[in-house]
Structure formats: C-alpha cells, structure tokens
Amino acid sequence: MLGNRMKIAPNKVVVLHYAVSDSEGTLIDSSYDHSPLSIIHGSGYLIPGLESALVDHEVGDKFEVAVAADNAYGERHDGFVQTVPKAMFESIEDLDVGTQLRATTDEGEQTVIVIDVTDDEITVDGNHPLAGIDLQFDVEILEIRDATEEELAHGHVHSEGGCGHQH
C-alpha cells in the first residue's frame, strides 16, 4: 500500500537474496544458486555490518553493502593457529589438509581446519575461513513481514509448515 510500506527493523522476518564477494570481486557465495535466505532481523544470525545495513530498506530494494572484516567475521588471529602432536588425533582417520575438527579451547568448543600435516605433527587454524576479509554484498529484498510470537521465541523463521526444528 502506498505510504504504508513495511521497512526492515528488528523482529521483522526478511527474505533476501545475496551475493558476497571479497574485495577483489571474487564470488564467495550466492543465494541465487540455491534458495533465498530467511532471517529474523536483530536475531544476530547475520554479520553485524550486513544486519545494520538492512535497516529501513523495503521490498524490491537492490543495493550494495561493503562490510569491513572487523564488522564481518573479525580479524585473523595468529594465535588461533596451533601446531600439535599428531598423536592427539590418532583416533581420526583421513586426517588431511582441509579436514575440519571440533576442538576444545579456552573459548569453548570451536571448529578448526587442518592446514598442514607432517609425519608427527598437524597444524590447525581456528580462524573463521572469512576472518580478515573485507566483504562486498549485493542484496535484494524479496519479502518483509512481522515475525510471529513463536518465531521470536524460537529465534528462527518458520516456513508455512511451521517449525522444522527439534526443541
């Protein structure tokens, strides 16, 4: 309705398409390759720089958002790279570069990626794969609606069939 268009704000369900590239224009991920993303605005699902850039946009808006690394997945921390004895992981088969492991650290459970393997040591990197990377988003807003009470209680969007999650 003219003059009464819904704008994106906290607790609105937003359905959007996005394509994200690094600062050199290399495509990292695109929802156009699969299905649009449905999020509850303000739930913290999106990186902070993107979430704040959505505010006040309307259905049909297409726009670009540049998000610096510290407002995306954070800066890289050299301290998150550790070399440890391979024996610590002897129960894991197929340990190779690129293998993802769950590790218990001072920060709690964390996903780390194996970046080097030698005869008796492995090196793992606990940085997010996109840490330290400035991101460029192309965003298209497809739908905006109020979140239901149930969606707000669960913290995620329900499709027409209701909640597909276990609670």
Residues lying near Zn ion in the complex (CB under 5 A): 154, 163, 165
* Smaller CB separation from Zn ion, 44 or 48: 44
Enumerate residues 6+ apart whose C-beta is below 8 A from 45. 39, 156
Pairwise CA distance, residues 22 & 6, whole Å: 31
Rounded to a whole number of angstroms, the minimum distance from the CB of residue 162 to Zn ion is 8
Rounded to a whole number of angstroms, the minimum distance from the CB of residue 165 to Zn ion is 5
Among candidate residues 118, 136, 114, the one with its CA nearest the CA of residue 53: 136
Which of the 8 DSSP states describes residue 31?
G
Which of the 8 DSSP states describes residue 86?
G
* Smaller CB separation from Zn ion, 120 or 149: 149
Pairwise CA distance, residues 138 & 14, whole Å: 15
* Smaller CB separation from Zn ion, 85 or 162: 162
* Smaller CB separation from Zn ion, 104 or 166: 166
Rounded to a whole number of angstroms, the minimum distance from the CB of residue 18 to Zn ion is 23
Rounded to a whole number of angstroms, the minimum distance from the CB of residue 154 to Zn ion is 3
